[in-house]
Amino acid sequence: MEETNETLCVGIDLGTSRSSISASTGERHVVDSYVGWPVDMVARKLVKKSVLVGREALDNRPMLDLRRPLERGIMKDGSEKDQEAVQEILRHLISVAGIKQKGKNKSKVRAVVGVPAEAFRVSRQNLRNTIEGVADSVMLVSEPFAVAYGLEALLHALVIDIGAGTADFCVMQGRYPTEEDQKTLPNAGDSIDEQLVKLIRERHPDAQFSIHMLREWKEKWSFVGEPKNHVMVTVPIKGKATEIDITQEMRAACESILPPVCETMVTLLTRVEPEFQDKVRDNIILAGGTSLISGLSEAVTKALSDLGGGRATVVKDPVFAGSDGSLAIARDASTADWEKLSL
Amino acid sequence: MDSIGETKARLLRGAVQDNIATVRGVRIVHPKPQARRRSGVWIFSALSAIALVYLTVPAQFVPSRASVQSTTPVSAAAINVDLTPEATVPLSHPRPIDRSAIPLSIKTIVIDPGHGGEPGATAESGLTEKEITLDVALRLRRLLGESPFEVLLTRETDRRLSLDQRVAFANEHKADLFLSIHVNSMEPHTIRALETYYVGPTDDPVTLKLASRENKESDYSLADYKKILEKIYVDARRDESRVFARTIQSRLFQSLKIPNPDLENRGVRTAPFVVLIGTQMPAILVEIACLSNENEVQLLTKPDYRENIALSLAQGIRQYAHRFTVADRKG
């Protein structure tokens, strides 16, 4: 597309846990999808800001009204505060990408934003409304479709984008995916967290830990299959710092997403024309933060062996695969297309 | 084979069109019949016609209060929950109600989000009936979560279910109550109406048209239809369905007229919907809004409004179920 000095394209992967941006300026950033407002004047004085986004918000959470405004990859219901929080995340992303949002030389922003494959249409409309004022034109695409577009995996491929809130599936058959080609599951990073909390509490009822600690453990040591090392973490038990072994709990929690993911993969494979199923089975692409679980691609490949073989691979850069793909779409869309989608 | 560039151009066109569809204004689109079902369409149409004729016969041949009342104009605003066509159309095979046939406590409730796979009615903005019904059903299940009921949904995702599958689901799970959620589409587009149905005859051409549309996804055979139609009026559940329908309609209207002051209360009505005919428990179908009305579409896009609908349905269910608890204690 024709890009003037004032017009910039961005691809955004608005995630439940983390959001990333890839801009036509070459900037790429990822932020934790948290927004916090100081709870009172004292907190305001201490944090020296009216609103905090990302890691900064998490680090200062005791002083903040902290929001994680996305749920299962879409905006939470009913709260204007959550809508405001999504706007803050988007503004923050655009700001860290170095795009000027105010003043005479304000850039014109064309944004492609990834949403879950089966995003409820109302939520898509809400999201469009929320983006108003942050970008000038917006196109919403399904997250796995954006990944496929960015990788040019346009034919005989199945993308599984596993984030925190959802696992999104999309079969690419050289055409714009229909509802039949896509699927969204709620079994993703957050459901692993829930399982992990439950399992650790069962075995160590007195252990004290927060969801944020647990997410950090998961990011460092998540795995499926046989353990290579013990997963040891330190938690307070009755006030005393105590090291506990959570290897089996971590494995069980991570493996809990395998059956639904594999089952959905098979369902979508069976919808492909029989003569092309082999090709698609050999081209299963895993993306999203949760695809970084150690051993995941091997486990999916193993599941494919029951179907006559196949291969699952994790994309090189799972965290940015969605935003890079969205940026590619934004760049390729014509000015005429963008005019139709202006806010 | 296309080059990558050609494929990308085609995909982009699709993405742009999909987005334009999301932002566009009011155009009602009715679902197209699926190709694999096309061969059976004429058979189904014939079956629907038989069912509808069968159910309209009593209303046509028996003088009714409705026909007398029809000479007296009643304004739409004056219609309330007690003005039900059921009360005015005598049954073809009246029988005393056997109260013992009704379970004395509500344990299992089946919620049926209308449509799925196919969109049902669609507003010009692209908002579809299947999305709204599923959203409200999921909220309703959550709201009933802390009650003693087991709440089951006929579908939890966007998947197609035939009407007989929905009926079979409720019957197989031995549900004590069945509530089917739908969103209407009416002409003229200024109408914003709330109405609740239970099984029975009708002589209203608009209702017949609605029943015909909502019955499209039925997989019943002619033999099934005959069997079902023969028994619908001798079933004690019919009276209970009427009470359940009144409770729900009343709750919904009281609650929704506040955020939606122009909402018209069309009351409780009878109609030959397949999901109401085949189910073996008190069963109702509620049309919670009109997707043909732009103002109602705007309201439906607000989560608060959908939550309000679900909350009213939950309150209505609890109120209806409470009757049995009280009766049980007294008895």
Q: Which domains does chain A have, with CATH numbers?
A: 34-67 (no CATH), 154-187+257-318 (3.30.420.40), 189-255 (3.30.420.40)
B7 → closest Cβ in A125, A128, A155: A155
Contact A139, A112 (CB under 8 A): yes
SS3 content of chain B, % helix, strand, coil (to 5): 50, 15, 35
Nearest chain A residue (CA) to B131: A120
**Which residue matches tokens 């009602």?**
B28
Whole-number pLDDT of residue B102: 44
Are B12 and A179 inside 8 Å of each other by CB?
Answer: no
Listed by number, the residues of chain B in 215-274 with a beta carbon closer than 8 Å to a beta carbon of chain A are: none
- Report helix, strand or coil for B292: coil
Looking at the complex, report in whole angstroms how far the Cα of residue A337 sits from the nearest Cα belonging to chain B: 7
pLDDT value of residue A277: 93
Least CB–CB distance from A154: residue in B7, B132, B301: B7
Are A126 and B131 a contacting pair at CB < 8 A? no
Query: How confident is the model over A124-181, as pLDDT tens digits?
Result: 777 888 888 889 999 999 999 999 999 999 999 999 999 988 899 999 999 999 878 8
Residue-wise pLDDT tens digits, A77-121: 546 777 888 899 999 999 988 887 776 677 889 999 988 776 655
Helical packing angle, A258-270 and A296-305, nearest 10° = 50
Q: What per-residue confidence (pLDDT) applies to B187?
A: 82
By CA distance, what is A126's nearest residue in B?
A: B301
pLDDT one-digit tens code per residue, B78-107: 223 333 333 333 333 333 334 444 445 788
Q: Which of B44, B43, B31, B59 is nearest to B271 (CA)?
A: B59
* pLDDT of residue B247 exceeding 60: yes
Residue of B4, B14, B22 with shortest CB distance to A125: B22
Chain B contact present for A316, CB below 8 A: no
Please state the rounded mean pLDDT for residues A204-230.
93
- What is the rounded CA–CA span in Å between residue A55 and residue A242? 27
Q: Where are the domains of chain B?
A: 36-73+80-330
Scanning every residue of chain B, which has its alpha carbon at the shortest distance from the alpha carbon of A331?
A: B12
Distance CA B255, CA B312 (A): 7
A276 is written with which tokens?
A: 């092309």
Interface test with B, best of A75, A137, A171, A176 (most B CBs within 10 A): A176
Q: How far is residue A202's CA from residue A217's CA, in Å, rounded to a whole number?
A: 18
The mean per-residue pLDDT over the stretch B213-218 comes to: 63
- Interchain proximity B23–A152, CB inside 8 Å: no
- Kindly report the backbone phi and psi dihedral angles of residue B318, in degrees, each rounded to the nearest multiple of 5, phi listed first: -65, -40
Cα–Cα distance measured from residue B228 to residue B219, given in angstroms and rounded to the nearest whole number: 13
* Range 7-66 of A in CB contact (< 8 A) with B: none
Query: Does residue A18 register a pLDDT over 60?
Result: yes
* Average confidence (pLDDT) over B175-197: 92
How far A90 CA lies from chain B's nearest CA (Å)?
19
Contacts of B131 in chain A (CB under 8 A): 120-122
Give the closest-approach CA distance of A172 to chain B in angstroms. Answer: 10
Ranges of beta strands (E only) in chain A are 7-13, 18-23, 28-32, 35-38, 52-53, 64-67, 70-71, 74-75, 108-115, 137-142, 155-162, 167-173, 182-185, 232-237, 240-245, 284-287, 312-314
Q: Quick one: how far is CA A288 from the chain centroid?
A: 6
Question: Which member of A149, A152, A176 has the closest CB to residue B18?
Answer: A176
The contacts found for B52-56 with CB under 8 angstroms, 24 or more apart, are B52/B208, B52/B211, B52/B212, B52/B272, B54/B229, B54/B272, B55/B200, B55/B201, B55/B202, B55/B229, B55/B272, B56/B201, B56/B202, B56/B203, B56/B208
- Residue A297 in this model has a pLDDT that exceeds 90: yes
> CB distance B7–A121 less than 8 Å?
no
Of B211 and A157, more confident = A157
Q: What residues are paired with A65 via a beta bridge?
A: A37
Contact A175 B11 (CB under 8 A): yes
Are B8 and A149 an interchain contact pair (Cβ–Cβ within 8 Å)? yes
Check residue B228 and give its pLDDT: 55
Using CB atoms within 10 A of its CB, is residue B153 exposed (0-12), middle (13-18) or buried (19+)?
Answer: middle
Determine the pLDDT at residue A226: 93
- Contact between A340 and B8 using a beta-carbon 8 Å cutoff: no
Q: Beta-carbon neighbour count of residue A217 at 10 Å? A: 20
Note the helical H segments in A77-188: 80-96, 121-131, 143-151
List CB contacts (< 8 A) between B23 and chain A: 125, 128, 341
Minimal C-alpha gap between A177 and chain B (Å): 8
B31 pLDDT more than 50: no
- Of the residues B3, B17, B23, the best mutation for testing chain A's interface (the one with the most A CB atoms within 10 Å of its CB) is B23
Contact between residue B135 and residue A120 where contact means Cβ atoms under 8 Å apart: yes
Q: Write a three-state SS string for B145-191.
A: CCCCCEEEECCCCCCCCCHHHHHHHHHHCCCCEEEEEEEECCCCCCC
C-alpha–C-alpha distance, residues A99 and A109, integer Å? 8
- Give the tens place of pLDDT for each residue, B116-142: 888 889 888 888 999 999 999 999 999
Q: How far apart are CA A169 and CA A312, in angstroms?
A: 13
pLDDT grade for B66, boundaries at 50, 70 and 90: very low
What residues of B are in contact with residue A119 (Cβ under 8 Å)? none
Q: How far is CA A45 from CA A67, A72, A143, B153, in A?
A: 20, 34, 39, 50
Chain A positions in Cβ-Cβ contact with residue B19 (cut-off 8 Å): 139-140, 341
Q: What is the pLDDT of residue B263?
A: 93
Supply the pLDDT for residue A343.
75
Beta pairing, strands A70-71 & A74-75? antiparallel
A341: which chain B residues are within 8 Å (Cβ-Cβ)? Answer: 16, 19-20, 23
Q: Please give the backbone phi and psi of residue A217, each rounded to the nearest 5 degrees, phi first.
A: -60, -45
Q: Is A48 left (phi over 0), alpha (psi -120 to 50) or beta?
A: left
- Assess contact for A299 and A224: CB atoms under 8 A: yes
Distance CA A38, CA A25 (A): 33
Chain B: closest CA distance from residue A123 (Å): 8
User: Tokens 């597309």 label which residue?
Assistant: A1
Which is more confidently placed, B163 or B78?
Answer: B163
Query: pLDDT over 70 for what percent of chain B?
Result: 61
At residue A127, the pLDDT reads: 80
Residue in B2, B11, B125 closest to A176 by CB: B11
The confidence score (pLDDT) of residue A155 equals: 94
Question: Would you call A155 an interface residue with chain B, using a CB distance cutoff of 8 Å?
Answer: yes
How many angstroms separate the CA atoms of A9 and A99, rounded?
10
pLDDT in tens, B294-326: 999 999 988 889 999 999 999 999 999 887 665
Q: Report the alpha-carbon distance of residue A283 to residue A270 in Å, rounded.
A: 15
Say what the alpha-carbon torsion angle A53, A59, A65, A71 is, to the nearest 10 degrees: 60
**CA atoms A94, A95, A101, A107: torsion sign:** negative
- In angstroms, what CA-CA distances link A31 with A47, A53, A214? 18, 8, 18
- DSSP codes, B16-58: HHHHHHHH------PPPPPGGGGGGHHHHHHHHHHHHHHHHHH
Smallest CA–CA distance, residue B179 to chain A, in Å, is 22
A122/B300 touch (CB, cutoff 8 Å), yes or no: yes
Q: Look at the domain B36-73+80-330 and name its fold.
A: Aminopeptidase (3.40.630)
Residue B135 at interface with chain A, using a CB cutoff of 8 Å: yes
User: What distance in Å separates the CA atoms of residue B180 and residue B114, rounded to the nearest whole number?
Assistant: 6
A189: nearest Cα among A162, A217, A220:
A162
pLDDT for the residue B148:
82
Lowest mean pLDDT among A103-112, A248-257, B20-29: B20-29
What's the mean per-residue pLDDT of chain A? 89
SS3 A233: strand
Q: Chain B contact for A267, CB < 8 A?
A: no
Residue A4: is its pLDDT beyond 60? no
* Contact status, residue B282 vs residue B102, Cβ threshold 8 Å: yes
- Give the residue on B whose Cα is nearest the Cα of A340: B20
Rounded-to-integer distance, Cα A64 and Cα B90, Å: 65
Contact (CB<8Å) A121/B22 = yes
pLDDT at A82: 79
Cα separation of A64 and A174, whole Å? 47
Angstrom distance (rounded) from CA A302 to CA A261: 13
- Asked if the Cβ–Cβ distance from B128 to A121 is below 8 Å, we say yes
pLDDT at B202: 65
Give the range with max mean pLDDT: A51-60, B61-70, B269-278: A51-60
**Angstrom distance (rounded) from CA A33 to CA A68:** 6
